[in-house]
Amino acid sequence: MNRCVSAIYYGDGKLKSLEISIRDLSLIVIFTAVTFVFTTIITIATPATRGFINIGETGVYLSALIGGPLVGAIAGGLGSALADIALGYYWYAPGTFIIKSIEGFLAGWLSRKIVRTKQYTKIIIAALVSIMLIAFLWVMAYGGIEISIIIFGNPIEILIPFWLVIGIAIGLGVVFIILALIGKVYSDLALACLISGVEMVFGYYLYETLLFGAKIALVEVLPNFIQPIAGIIIGIPIVLALMEMGVDVDIARFIRKVQEEQISRS
C-alpha cells in the first residue's frame, strides 16, 4: 500500500519515521467530517461557560474504533475544533483540538489494551477511575452544582444538591464496574470510550478553569458526561454492526489478532 512518510525526532536524537497510509489519510478526512456533523447537529448552550453540550463524541469514537488511535486523534480533534469555529465558539477551538485529540487517541488505544486485559485488571482500572471521579466531586461540588442551560431559546437553571451529585458520581462508578464485569467485546469498547470520556470532561474542566475560574468550570462537569454516554450509545452499535458485516474496522482486526495469538498458545 502506498504510504505518506514524515519524520519526527525524539529526545535521544534518533530519527524515527512515522508512516501514515493512504487509507488512514482517507479515514481522517471522512471522520473529520463525521465528527464535525455530529458535533453541530445537536447543541445545547451553557451560558455560564459560554459553551455548548453536543453529541460529537459519537464521531470521535467512530473514528478511533474504525480507524485506530491515530485517525481518532487527528479526526476527533480537528473535526471538533472546526465545529467550535463554525458555531462561533472560537475561543474553545484550541482547547478542543487538544482535548478531543487526546480523547480520540485514548479511545483507540485503550480499546486495544482493554480487549486483551484480564478481567480483574479491568475491574481494578474501573474502580480507580470511579474513586477518582467520586473524590473529585466530593471535594469540588460541596454545596451542590448550579447548572444553567438554554433549550429552544429558553434559559433553564437547575440546582443539583450535593447528595445527588455524589449519587450520580457513584452511579457512573457502578457503570464502570459493570462494564468491566461483563467482559464482552461491546462492554470492553464501551469501557474504553467511557474512560477516554473522563479525560474529555476533566480536560474541559481545566480549560474552563483557565478561562472562567474553577467555580464556573464545575458547572459543565456533570452535563459533559452526556457526550461520552451518547457517543457510546450511538457509536458502539454502529461499530459492532460494521464488524458483523465484515467491514475492515481497526478494532476488529486487532481482536482477530488477539484471538489468533490465543489459539496459537493453546
Longest dimension (CA), the chain: 62
Residue 222 banded pLDDT, cuts 50, 70, 90: very high
C-alpha–C-alpha distance, residues 107 and 210, integer Å: 26
All 3 cell numbers of residue 91? 475561543
User: How confident is the model over 12-53, as pLDDT tens digits?
Assistant: 445 445 566 888 899 999 999 999 999 999 999 998 899 999
Tell me which H or E stretch contains 72: helix 69-86
With beta carbons less than 8 A apart as the criterion, state whether 32 and 75 touch. Answer: yes
User: What's the pLDDT at 178?
Assistant: 97
Q: Predicted confidence band at 10 (pLDDT cuts at 50, 70, 90)?
A: very low
Helices (H), 152-184: 162-182
Query: Which residue, 138, 117, 145, is CA-closest to 255?
Result: 117
- The better pLDDT of the pair 89, 265 is held by 89
Question: CA nearest 64: which of 107, 98, 34?
Answer: 107
The torsion angles phi and psi of 9, rounded to 5 degrees, stand at -105, 145
The pLDDT of residue 250: 92
Nearest Cα neighbor of 100 from 113, 117, 82, 81 is 81
3-class secondary structure, 233: helix
13, exposed or middle or buried, with CB in 10 Å at 0-12, 13-18, 19+?
A: exposed
Q: For residue 9, name the pLDDT band (cuts at 50, 70, 90).
A: very low
Judged against a pLDDT cut of 90, whether residue 233 lies above it is answered with yes
For the stretch 106-146, pLDDT in tens is: 999 999 999 989 999 999 999 999 999 999 999 999 888 98
3-class SS at 143? coil
Per-residue confidence (pLDDT) for residue 177, from 0 to 100: 97
For 159-214, write each residue's pLDDT tens digit: 899 999 999 999 999 999 999 999 899 999 999 999 999 999 999 999 999 999 99
User: To the nearest 10°, the Cα dihedral for 60, 66, 72, 76?
Assistant: -30
- The answer on pLDDT for 87 being more than 90 is yes
Q: Is the pLDDT of residue 5 over 80?
A: no
Q: pLDDT tier at 265 (50, 70, 90 boundaries)?
A: confident
Question: What is 3-265's CATH number, 1.20.1250.20, 2.160.10.10, 3.20.20.140, 1.10.1760.20?
Answer: 1.10.1760.20
- Write down the mean pLDDT value for the chain: 90
Q: Is the pTM of this model over 0.85?
A: yes
Q: What percent of the chain has pLDDT over 90?
A: 74
Confidence of residue 98 (pLDDT cuts 50, 70, 90): very high
The residues spanned by each domain of the chain are 3-265
